Amino acid sequence: MAIKIPQEIDDLIFNELNGIYSKGGNVDIAIDTDEFYKIYLGTYFPRSLCESFLIFYDLYSNKVIANIFDNKQEINILDIGTGTGGNVLGICYFLKKIGYTKDKKINIYTIEQFANAIKYQKIFVDKFNEWYGLNVNLKHFEAKFDFPYKSDFETKFKQFNAHFNINFKFDIITTSKFISEFYNRDYAQSQNLYSFFVDFFSKFLIKEGILLLLDLVSKDIKSTHPRYKAEIMSQEINSYLKSNKSLEYILPLSCAKWNKECTTQHCYIENIFTVQHSKRTSDVSKVTYRILTDKEMADKILSTAKLFDVFYVSHNPSRPKICKSGIITERTDAFQFPDAFKINHNE
């Protein structure tokens, strides 16, 4: 999937905020420095914004999901480990594209440890409201999650709820390129964090709500036997859903169809986005993501989607992969298969 960021966003990033594009920049672990934010804004913010926009625009192609978004007058979004906010701004740009105006309220709750990152969230939200006539209300909570992650997540989230006096559930809960930071810091202590995240935060979704986990596909460099984050996410969430009766995948479609009988031990699922801006005509972003919702809701969504006998799960030229009946193999033939990350194949 390819997309060019809007010119006004490009100007803000590179001209006003002095963003720096750095192809080799390493942001596996966030650092609260001016240089880090300039590189992040110029290199990773455009990717996160476009990834999120394209993911939700694809979801909107499903008539069940489109009906939900079209009939909402107010939407509540929670993002954990938000950073400068590229992914949640991508959702805002998606909502603008489908016709949201000031008449529809968008409440974004972010949890982020660095005040400087929150500063950029505010800048972009203010600009989006000004440029696009949106009614985005940003509510941020400054907190750092740490080990032991289970008790710490529960403690910090209780503080978050108390701070905002929250007595409702969210329409959308997301996390983008955040959970992998735990694995980069301490691989052993981070085991089962993806499945814990799903179990913990799914409780705060409305019945038709969407839970999106997106992360890098890079290898964990601190484990004895390095594994791709894509494999870790797949294994943990797949295993969790086999014993959970209330949640189900809607993307990737291969997992939505075959997770219960999946036998792949090293499941590598990757989507590739190509982003264009003034500093790079073709910036390739490789990520993995899973989207879940209430099982009853998932059944409604998937009943209108085409579930094929085989799907692409990676278009990476160096290792294209397909999934059939829960078994992932290298693609060695010339056939063109449907994309596991595309929910609507009727176009």
Is 2-309 a domain of CATH 3.30.420.40?
Answer: no
| Tens-place pLDDT, residues 103-137 | 999 999 999 999 999 999 999 999 999 999 999 99
pLDDT band at 27 (very low <50, low <70, confident <90, very high): low
Predicted pLDDT of residue 318: 81
Predicted pLDDT of residue 223: 62
Q: Which two tokens stand for residue 197?
A: 């995240």
pLDDT band at 7 (very low <50, low <70, confident <90, very high): very high
Contact of 142 with 82, CB cutoff 8 Å? no
Q: What percent of the chain has pLDDT over 90?
A: 81
| Tens-place pLDDT, residues 168-185 | 999 999 999 999 999 988
Please tell me the distance from the alpha carbon of residue 228 to that of residue 224, in angstroms, as a whole number.
Answer: 13
In this structure, what is the dihedral angle of CA atoms 300, 58, 130, 84, given to the nearest 10 degrees? 100
Enumerate the domain spans of the chain. 2-309
Strands 2-4 and 170-176: unpaired
Task: Examine the pLDDT at 24 and tell me if it is beyond 90.
Answer: no
Contact of 214 with 51, CB cutoff 8 Å? yes
Q: Name the residue among 284, 283, 273 with its Cα closest to residue 14.
A: 283
DSSP conformation letters of 191-254: TTHHHHHHHHHGGGEEEEEEEEEEEE-PBPSSSSS--BHHHHHHHHHHHHHHT-SSEEEEESHH
Q: Which two tokens stand for residue 218?
A: 């890079």
pTM score over 0.85: yes
Task: Examine the pLDDT at 271 and tell me if it is beyond 90.
Answer: yes
Task: Examine the pLDDT at 332 and tell me if it is beyond 80.
Answer: no
| Tens-place pLDDT, residues 199-235 | 999 999 999 999 999 999 987 666 666 788 999 999 9
Task: Examine the pLDDT at 26 and tell me if it is beyond 70.
Answer: no
| Tens-place pLDDT, residues 293-331 | 999 999 999 999 999 999 999 988 888 899 999 999 988
| Tens-place pLDDT, residues 30-68 | 566 788 899 999 999 999 999 999 999 999 999 999 999
Predicted pLDDT of residue 175: 98
Predicted pLDDT of residue 169: 98
